[in-house]
Amino acid sequence: MNSPQLQRGVFLALLFAVTAAFVWVLMPFFGAVMWGVALAILFTPLYNLLLKKMPKRRTLAAMATLAICLVIVILPLALVGVSLVQEVALVAQNIRSGQINFANYFQQILAALPRWLLNLLERFNLGDMAAWEARITAGAAEGSQLVAGKALTIGQNTFDFLVSFFVMLYLLFFLLRDGAPLSKKIRDALPLAKPHTHYLLNKFTTVIRATIKGNVAVAIAQGTIGGLSFFFLGVQGALLWAVLMAFLSLLPAVGAALIWGPVAIYFLATGHFWQGGVLIFVGVFVIGLVDNILRPLLVGKDTQMPDYIVLMSTIGGIAVFGINGFVIGPLIAALFMAAWDLFAISNENDEKTTGTH
C-alpha cells in the first residue's frame, strides 16, 4: 500500500493542491504581484550596478533602486493621474453644461459636406440630422455619467488601490534583494531539463523587459506628441486626450489615430484647414513613425516575434486581462513559441539518436 509510486502520486497531488491554493490566495493581488515581478525584472540591472558600487550591502542597494523607481516611474504617473482626474472632472462638467457639445460639432461637419455626399447618406438613411443629434447628445450624457461613476468608484476603491500599491512595493524590494537566489530555486525546482528551464526563464525575462520598455516608450512618445499637438491647436482637454492616445497606443498601428483622426476630420470639415493639415501631418508622419519604427525595434526585435504576433497577442491580452494584458499577451505568445521550438528541437534530437542506433 505504501509503494514509492503511490507516495509520489499523493505527494504530486498535494503539491498541485497547495500550489493552486496559493495562487487562489494571491488572486486579489494579481496586478500588484505581476507589476512587482515586472518592475523587478526591469530594474534588476540597475540594482546590480548599485550593488557593485556598494558590495555586500544588498538591502541598501535594493532600497536605493526602489527609491529611483519611485522617482522616475511611480511619482510621475501619480502626478499625471491627479492632473488627469481634474481634467476629466472639468471635461465632464463642460459636457453636462453644454460648453462641449458633440452634437453641434457633428452638425457642423454635416453642414460642411458636399451635396452629393449628403444625398448618399440620405439614401442609406444616415442623413437624418435630428436623429444623429439625439443619439450623440444621449451618448455624450451617458458618457459623462459613466465618467462620473468611474471617478466615484475610483474614490471608493482608494483603500484597495493603496493596499495593492504597498504590496507591489514590498514585493519589489524583496525581489530586487533576493531575486537571484529565488530564481535559482525556481530553476532547480522545475521538472524540466536544465537547458530548457534556462531558455524559458530567459525568454520570460526578455519578453517582460522588452514589452514594458517598448510599449511604455511608444505610449509616452505618442501621448506626449499628440497632447502637445492638441494643446497648440487649441483643443480642449489636451491632457485627457494625450492620456487616451497613450493608452490606445497599446494597440499597434491604429491606436492613437482613433483620437486624432476624428479631430482632424472636424478641423477640415469646419474650414480649419491648416489645423487639420498640421494634425494629419503630425499623426501620420510623427506619431505613426514612432509606432512603426520604435515598437518593432524595442518589442519585436528583443522578443524575436513577428510584428503580427505582437499585434494579435497584445490586442488579445488586453481583451482578456484588461490593461495588464499588454504585458501578459506577448509573454504568453513568446512562451508558446519558445515551448514549441524546444519541442521541435527535442524531436529532432530524438530522431537523430534513434537513427544512429
Report if residue 183 sits inside a domain. no
More confident residue, 85 or 279: 279
Picking from 142, 174, 206, the residue at the C-terminal end of a domain is 174
Among the listed residues 249, 314, 323, 240, the one whose alpha carbon sits nearest the alpha carbon of residue 286: 249
- Round to whole Å and give the CA distance between 262 and 136: 14
Asked if residue 225 is part of any domain, the answer here is: yes
State the pLDDT at residue 350: 65
Domain that holds residue 58: 29-158+169-174
CB 263 within 8 A of CB 237: no
Say if 142 falls within a structural domain.
Answer: yes
Percent of all residues in the chain with a pLDDT value above 70, rounded to a whole number: 71
Task: Output the pTM of the full model.
Answer: 0.68
Residue 93: partners with Cβ closer than 8 Å, 6 or more residues away: none
150 and 199 together in one domain: no
216 and 305 part of one domain: yes
Q: 52 lies in a domain?
A: yes
- 38-61 burial code (b ≥16 CB/10 A, e <16): bbbbbbbebbeebbeeeeeebeeb
Residues 126 and 267 in one domain: no
Residue 15 lies in a domain: no
Element (H, E) at 181: helix 158-189
* Pair (204, 303) in one structural domain: yes
Which pLDDT tens digit goes with each residue over 114-135? 666 666 666 655 555 555 555 6
CA distance 51 to 86: 41
Residue 315 lies in a domain: yes
Q: Round to whole Å and give the CA distance between 237 and 144.
A: 14
Q: Compare 229 and 159 and report the one with higher pLDDT.
A: 229
Q: Residue 233 pLDDT > 70, yes or no? A: yes
356 domain-assigned? no
Residue 241 has pLDDT above 80, yes or no: yes
Q: What is the pLDDT of residue 140?
A: 52
Report the pLDDT value the prediction gives residue 302, as an integer from 0 to 100: 58
Count: domains in the chain: 2
Please tell me the predicted confidence (pLDDT) of residue 152: 52
Compute φ and ψ for 125, nearest 5 degrees.
60, 35
> How far is residue 297's CA from residue 148's CA, in Å, rounded to a whole number?
39
Give SS3 for 9. helix
Q: Do both 201 and 246 map to the same domain?
A: yes
Neighbours of 326 (CB within 10 A): 25
Tell me, yes or no, whether 316 and 218 share the same domain: yes
